[in-house]
Structure 1
Amino acid sequence: MDPYASARDELQKLVSSPTVGSGANEDTTRLQLIDALLFNCLGWNTQDATTEDHHNGSYVDYIVGKPAAQFIVEAKREGIPFTLPAGITGRHAVSVPTLMEDKSTAAAIHQVLGYCQERGVPVGIISNGHQLAAFFASRQDGVPPLKGEALVFSSLQEMYDDFNMLWGYLSKPAVSTKNLQRYLIGRKSRALAPEKLANSISHYPGFRKRSELETDLKMLGQLFIQDLEQEEQISDDFVKDCYCASGALSQYSMLSREVLRARYASAAAAVAGGIEKASTKKGVNPKLTADMVTAALSRRPIILLGDVGVGKSMFLRHLIRVDAKDVLKNSLILYVNFLREPVFVDDLPMYITERMSDQLESDHGIDVHDRSFVKAVYNKEINKFKRTIFGDESDPDEYKKQERLMLAGHLSKEFEHLRRSLEHIRATSGRSPLVILDNIDQRPPEFQESIFETAHSIADSWPGTVFVAIRPSTFFQSRSRGALAAYQTRMFTIEPARTDQVIMKRLDYARAKVVESGAAGVFPQNLSIDDADLVAYLNALIKAFKYDDELKSLIDNMSAGNTRDALMFLFTFIGSGYVSTQRVLDVANAGRVYTVPMHEFIRAIVFGDYDYFSPEASAVCNIFDITTNDGREHFLLPNILAHSQRVAESAGSEGLVSAASIYSFGQSVGFSQEQVGAQLDRAVKNNLLVFSGSVDGGSYRPTSVGSYLHRKLATSFSYVDAMIVDTPIVDPSVRRNIRDVHSIKERIQRAKHFQAYLDKQWEIFDPSRDEIPFRWDEVSAQLTTDIEAAEFKADAATQKRNESATNFWK
């Protein structure tokens, strides 16, 4: 049955329910009537609603909708203390002032109106279980909420008779399409934003051409630099030379240290005994190496908690090969890397068993299916078998047949057979397994939970120690209602290493390998760049990351502690079509080391492989993009980011900002819920904010990416210049002057026009209000300075070219 018909049938049952008309108290009304209406008759799930939400000393009966709350329901005693005025039966559009002629109804409306405005929720509903009234508590059309209209149903029977209207305005699908807004306010949502300049460029986004030199450099960068730790076979030298200890808080992050620390503090509070750091200033935490021994006795896995790209894989390799090499000298390392495993696995325990059986044979020379090995494992069973009726050796052929059948039965239980094999290995050689399930954070949350359950089964029944690496978001979700909730776990955090140190070590390692390959005569031949050129290029990068704090800050903040992303930014720069490789080599040939300009790195990261900025392909977000024909919205996303950071850095926030707080802020400065929701979606998609559903109603955690964008990149000519093609211009007179241009002088003039346009929209935004945390006027002043600097350099370059041309003809 379709959801509509099923919901209507449920409402018919409710109409016939003996609870209707019983004068039930408020709690009973909520449980028996309103719960049934919401969850059985209107298509909402219990997960969509928060009940008895506490805020500023008040409790709200229902907040419905996640992550963005859609409406609040205030439940009252059935029939008392409010009633709908007589004579409105059959009328569904009733003015709020008419409803408020009844004092108890007026009190209920005022109550839910206050709840909605405190929390930034657009719709308020009052209901006593068999009557309801829904009205807009937050409007942007100049009409006060108490002067508008309400959607009213006078009885459950009326809801059933006009179910198409009830479903069409208050069901989950209807609320998502804003049907109630159109019905009550009598207008459509705000007009969409005008087209972007990109829409008029026929070859957008285009591909940036590279010279032969840059193409060869890109290939060599991939060979010597790009994320070598993902290779199957990694040398001990790479692990020793490129590993950076985690745990040092970034000195370049634009987030406060309190917010950075709070990333794992809430996880520690949720675990009995807290969570230890895997690394200390003196190296690996001694408690971790001690737990590697005792974990087998406690029969529980060791959890390594860390965000994606934080360096969990590198930490594990360094732990095994360097830090705990002596402790693990008699261990059998069994490593399953889920970054490289098939996407779909039907039987996870069986799959892990097969992978580990293969590794025992390939890495340790132990074939768990070898005939002699199998007989040794099941020696006790064979001796017991000999005493059974099938163990008569008077008929050797029959005995061997029956023995094979008995052993085949044991081998068919592959998970148990591997366990028995490992027990036998430990008993005969003293070698215990160290099982590592790595990169499971690359998989969906449900798959991660399945892996953890399998890991716990292995730790509980196998000899040895089990490591599982998961991300904090999975921990919170699973701890509250998933696999982790059922187990006591031992946890260690892997915190980000400093990205500048990671890059420096990788560049030093790459340079050493280039020198080594050149000396050995194995450097790739027939390229436009040789080993000496590549060393000169790497020297320029090493110099940049050693001395340029601005560059370190860019990479550190835009990667947000993800070393994998930091290395990808480095790789994006190497061989980029926005960087003149020949100029780097010319400077080297002159006996100097090239100084990498900041704007070259920004352009390489922003544009990537394309001629124009493409939001789908770029690692950088356009914070000026808008969803409606409202020029003030250019400043909404940066203000959301600034507000979130301000709240997150306040005392007691644990680095989290409630969704309600953000919606309330957005609406308080004049934006609709739709505008706020759309910008929040963009923020999460681009890692400017991280959404967490672990707190009722949802919450957001600011990232250094969002902070750097609105505080630093927004002041950069290179960034603003790139964003212009992707930003809708609501003023037609300005839009006509924003064209596709290419020369540096034309781009500078276009940026000035764009800046003036934003300045004008900022004046409309009413910048005098103190509650606005992002100040475009201050950002614009810094942008002016950067545009002037770009203009000065462009003029100087033009003058130099003219002088060179003049000297050439003399």
Structure 2
Amino acid sequence: MSNLADNAFDRLKSLETEIRASLVIGVNESDTRLKAIDRILFEVLGWSHEAVFTEPTTESGYIDYLLTIGERRNALVVEAKRVGVLAPATKAERITEVSLSGPVVKPLLPGIRQAFGYAVEKGAPVAAVTDGEAWLFFKAARTDGRPPLEGKGILFPTLASVFADFAIFAELLSPIAIVDRRHLAHLDGAEGMKVGDAEQHYFVFPPGEAKMKRRDPLANDAALLFSQFFSRLSGDQDKEMLRDCFVETGESRKADLELQKIIQKVLNNIAPISTDSGGALQVELERAMTSQRSETVLLIGNKGSGKSTFVDRFFDQILPLSIRERCVVARVDLGNYHGDPSRIVSWAILQLRDILEAGVCSNDPPTYEDLQGIFFREYQRWKTGSRRPLYERDRELFKEQFGVHMESRRENHPDEYVRLLLEWASSGHKRLPCLIFDNTDQFSVEVQDAVYQLAHSLESAGAVFNIVPITDRTIWRLAKAGALQSYSAKSFYLPVPEAKEIISRRVTFLKAKLRAEPNAAKSYFSRKGFQIEVNNLQMLAEAVEKVFVENDYVSGLIGRLGNFDIRRMLKIAERIFLSPEIKIDEIIKSKFGGPSVTTDKFRTHRALIKGEYDRFTEVENDFITNVFETNPQRPGSPLLAFYILWVLRQRLNSNRSKDVDAAHWLTADLADYFERCGVPNEVLLEAVRRLYERRLIEALDPNVEVIGMADKVSIKESGVAHIELVTTSTVYVEQMGTTTGINDLSVRDELRVRVRGGAFLELRDIFLRYLLKVDSIRMNIPSTPAYAQVTEARRQVKAISSTERPAGKRTPRAGPPKKQPRHPGRFRLV
């Protein structure tokens, strides 16, 4: 059993005595429901009361239990009877598969008919009949043309059988299992409907045996270049580089789907912010400064969007000096905390204490006079109140005792001391404390919620301007935790720039450093660990510019594959540039790269797909997914993932300007859609989960860990990029053809022959014909308008093959030529 089933079984065992005591002959139906069935549903299996409806009315009567999932989708009807009424005609003590029209369930037949009627009226696909002791589960909706009573059900004849086979019982009745339709899988199995048998897979090149290829001589320095200036987005070693390479985006940039989701589902007071001027943020800061009223600002952006750098630039470079001098900036970087998460708030207080002291006090560390100003009210109370005699008799001793008191308060009550510092900055120095709580996203929602509450609690100490940079995922978490509803805050969304703009800014920064006075430039790069000549770095920078900045097809693909996450985009660029397929040493020798690098998509795609290895493998490639891969234990169509991406893209395109919900598709509905093509629910759900894990699709709620049938999904930019790769990249199809499991040994051997001969267009065509053949066997696409897009997707795959092109039209070989650029020939896979 899974952990969830184990925990549920433990709860059932703890209630066993009480439940058995309630199941005695003569007890009425209401008592059976209250003392046995209710406890099994709610306490054991974990159904929420919001998802269960008792006594909902129908034309036929009142349903005992209507179980729902997701957005009130009726899932299962439970018809309850008093104990002893059902009494199936069997002496079996274990779970059994029974015919609904057979003698074993004859005593249950009235209840079965009653449950059938309710389920049909409510559209519930499954029903159950129980008296608390016996449980019978069966399909209430059929699409195979058979009368309902000719079907089969799963019977637990006694409560003992429920204990004996509890794992199956939980998968028939628990909410999580019903969401994933595991209950239907069991009922299908009872009727002999099984998912296809396991198959053997054969590989041209097993992806698990991939080996790294030797780097070019200058690749190590190129790797250092990318590490220092392209891939790094955080760290204190070179703030100048981070700030100068920040890409400004105007707030007029069209809001993307993620912003629409936040607006419609979480916050309605959020707006994009102009990162070149930070105008809206400056307005909010000046308002807090003038009104002397506290305010909290949420700066929302995806992971790696440059939130921290934006805040640093805002206070150091963008904000006018006249306003900056009236601010006390205290940035608490929670990324530096590596202790017990339960103590993160007390740690943050200590950080604030030290940072505010340095910013507020005239001296660092603070002098006695500084501390006396912070504790001025207490000093006055001591002086004129209870310690007045001491003050008048011995002022030095008074001063000494008050000093001990101040240090004790500072050390033992840092939270109170921080509040005094904030008050002194605001009222004593007429400066606005600007508190920044950065990098909370790596912590749990409980920690994020606590830090958010801390920020708001400090508002009561005086006029405070809080800035909390967080990701879109954190916003959803805080919304569920309730923090967003408890406190008011102004929210801004940080737009993400294009990959081309990001890389271009870094190249510009590098060139500026290289153009500096020779000794200064050499010193700067030596401190970064570079041992090669500065003019070689100049050539590397120019090569980067040639490959990524001057070719939109490269930077555009990088952006989509990285889902416009800056960190991922730069890692993809690094992957391409360091791949042996690009041949960095040749780039350096030619100074400007040359046409073989700047215009050859084949070489770029091989670098992207293979990286530093001799073949494609998902183990080391987090950006490229084999959409043709199938599970040999539960095989489906090798084109199913491609079809899912295709229809999700069409749904997004059709609803991009409408409600966000409309752009997402409920997984249960997606399963129903493909079920009519012959795709079992389990196979569809497995494919959707794989696409989600590989970041090709997203859930409406970004914090979903494992996609279930009740989750809504939409295609991500990476999914769109993979459609493009399938339909336009010969290299992608070739690489997948050599590393995808093939269930036909003769096809695998044909592919191997083509690899040895370097006939990669023939290899591609053989692989595509194999995919289409298996697809036609495992999927039957209805010829109706509703399935026109799936038919079109299949047609697009057919069109890739050279056999689908007009006769006599020659198609060039894939990949760069070896000797004659204008007449591509045969080449070997390297």
Match of 1:392 in 2: 390
Match of 2:603 in 1: 600
Q: Is the 8 A contact 2:630 2:638 kept in 1?
A: yes
- Residue of structure 2 aligned with 1:46, choices 45, 48, 67: 48
Shift of 1:531: 3.4
Structure 1 residues 613-672: Cα deviation after superposition (integer angstroms, max 9, x where no partner) = 221321211111112456643122222222333334435435332232222223232222
Asked if 1:623 corresponds to 2:627, the answer is yes
Q: Give secondary structure in 2 for the equivalent of 1:303.
A: strand
Asked if 1:782 corresponds to 2:788, the answer is no
Shift of 1:452: 1.6
Match of 1:357 in 2: 353
Asked if 1:152 corresponds to 2:149, the answer is no
Structure 1 residues 570-622: Cα deviation after superposition (integer angstroms, max 9, x where no partner) = 22223322202233344447998952422333332322333222213212111
Q: Give secondary structure in 1 for the equivalent of 2:625.
A: coil
The separation in 2 between residues aligned to 1:144 and 1:181, in whole angstroms, is 16
Q: Is the 8 A contact 2:204 2:752 kept in 1?
A: no
Stretches of structure 1 lacking an aligned partner (at least 5 in a row): 251-259, 805-810
Change (3 A) 1:557 1:586: same
- Residue of structure 2 aligned with 1:535, choices 518, 533, 538: 538
- Residue of structure 2 aligned with 1:333, choices 329, 335, 354: 329
Q: Give secondary structure in 2 for the equivalent of 1:508.
A: helix
Match of 1:673 in 2: 681
Amino acid at match of 1:509: F
Structure 1 residues 532-577: Cα deviation after superposition (integer angstroms, max 9, x where no partner) = 3443443344345455332232022112221222122222223322
Q: Which has the higher contact order (CA 8 A, sep 6+)?
A: 1
Change (3 A) 1:745 1:370: farther
The separation in 1 between residues aligned to 2:145 and 2:541, in whole angstroms, is 61
Match of 2:422 in 1: 422
Match of 1:256 in 2: none
Match of 1:194 in 2: 200
Q: Give secondary structure in 1 for the equivalent of 2:310.
A: helix
Structure 1 residues 317-362: Cα deviation after superposition (integer angstroms, max 9, x where no partner) = 3322343334333212211233444364441222112223343466
The separation in 2 between residues aligned to 1:803 and 1:673, in whole angstroms, is 46
Match of 2:484 in 1: 484
Match of 1:643 in 2: 647
Match of 2:373 in 1: 376
Match of 1:309 in 2: 304
Change (3 A) 1:601 1:341: farther
Q: Is the 8 A contact 2:648 2:714 kept in 1?
A: yes
Residues matched between the structures, number: 774
The separation in 1 between residues aligned to 2:245 and 2:114, in whole angstroms, is 70
Change (3 A) 1:167 1:678: closer
- Residue of structure 2 aligned with 1:106, choices 94, 108, 113: 113
- Residue of structure 2 aligned with 1:797, choices 807, 818, 823: 818
Matched ranges for 1:585-734 at <5 A:
585-588=588-591, 595-618=598-621, 619-628=623-632, 632-648=636-652, 649-650=654-655, 651-652=658-659, 653-693=661-701, 697-734=710-747
Structure 1 residues 416-449: Cα deviation after superposition (integer angstroms, max 9, x where no partner) = 2122123223333322221112232233333322
The separation in 2 between residues aligned to 1:130 and 1:165, in whole angstroms, is 14
- Residue of structure 2 aligned with 1:220, choices 209, 225, 234: 225
The separation in 2 between residues aligned to 1:331 and 1:559, in whole angstroms, is 37
Shift of 1:126: 5.0
Shift of 1:408: 3.8
Match of 2:828 in 1: none
Amino acid at match of 2:813: F
Q: Is the 8 A contact 1:197 1:739 kept in 2?
A: no
Asked if 1:574 corresponds to 2:595, the answer is no
Q: Give secondary structure in 1 for the equivalent of 2:249.
A: coil
The separation in 2 between residues aligned to 1:803 and 1:135, in whole angstroms, is 63
Change (3 A) 1:313 1:272: closer
Match of 2:3 in 1: none
Matched ranges for 1:731-746 at <5 A:
731-739=744-752, 745-746=758-759
The separation in 2 between residues aligned to 1:89 and 1:704, in whole angstroms, is 58
Shift of 1:522: 0.3
Amino acid at match of 1:766: N
Q: State the superposition RMSD in angstroms.
A: 4.6
Change (3 A) 1:663 1:646: same
**Deviation larger for 176-185 or 137-146:** 137-146
Amino acid at match of 2:800: Q
Shift of 1:704: 0.9
**Deviation larger for 180-189 or 656-665:** 180-189
Matched ranges for 1:223-238 at <5 A:
223-235=228-240
Match of 1:463 in 2: 463
Change (3 A) 1:430 1:763: same
Matched ranges for 1:426-465 at <5 A:
426-465=426-465
The separation in 2 between residues aligned to 1:415 and 1:152, in whole angstroms, is 62
Overall identity of the aligned pairs, in %: 18
Q: Give secondary structure in 1 for the equivalent of 2:165.
A: helix
Match of 1:255 in 2: none
Shift of 1:410: 1.7
Instruction: Give the TM-score taking structure 2 as reference length.
Output: 0.80
Asked if 1:279 corresponds to 2:293, the answer is no
Amino acid at match of 1:194: Q
Instruction: Give the TM-score taking structure 1 as reference length.
Output: 0.82
Change (3 A) 1:586 1:547: same
Shift of 1:74: 1.2
The separation in 1 between residues aligned to 2:250 and 2:242, in whole angstroms, is 17
